[in-house]
C-alpha cells in the first residue's frame, strides 16, 4: 500500500496521527484501537498496511506484536506534510 493510498483511508490517517503525535509510543493493536476509538480487527489490518509501507515498525513476539513509528527522517517529514495538508483541507 503506497503512502498516498494510505492517506485516503480514515483509519490509516488516525493511526498515523496517533504515532506522529506520540513518536516514542509502542503499542499493541488493542492499545492503538483504544487511543483512536476504532475496532481492533480493522486497526490490526491497517497497522500491517503501515508496516508494509515502512511507516511503522512491527516488534513481533510470541504473545503479541508491538507497533511503533519509523525512525526514518524522510518518511516522518513526508507524513508530517501529508497530515498538515489533510488538516487544512
- Write out the residues near other proteins by the rule CB under 8 A: 22-28, 31, 34-35, 57, 59, 61-64, 66, 68-69, 71, 73
Burial 51-78 (b: 16+ CB within 10 A, else e): bebebbbeeeeeeebbbbbbeeeebbee
Nearer to other proteins, 57 or 82 (CB): 57
Separation CA 77–CA 35 (nearest Å): 23
Cβ of residue 47: shortest distance to other proteins, in angstroms? 13
Cβ of residue 45: shortest distance to other proteins, in angstroms? 19
Cβ of residue 49: shortest distance to other proteins, in angstroms? 20
Amino acid at each position: 500500500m503506497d503512502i498516498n493510498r494510505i492517506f485516503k483511508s480514515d483509519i490509516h490517517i488516525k493511526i498515523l496521527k496517533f504515532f506522529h503525535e506520540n513518536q516514542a509510543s509502542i503499542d499493541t493493536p488493542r492499545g492503538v484501537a483504544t487511543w483512536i476509538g476504532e475496532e481492533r480487527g480493522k486497526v490490526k489490518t491497517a497497522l500491517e498496511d503501515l508496516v508494509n509501507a515502512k511507516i511503522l515498525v512491527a516488534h513481533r513476539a510470541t504473545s503479541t506484536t508491538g507497533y511503533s513509528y519509523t525512525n526514518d527522517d524522510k518518511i516522518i517529514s513526508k507524513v508530517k506534510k501529508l497530515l498538515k495538508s489533510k488538516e487544512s483541507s
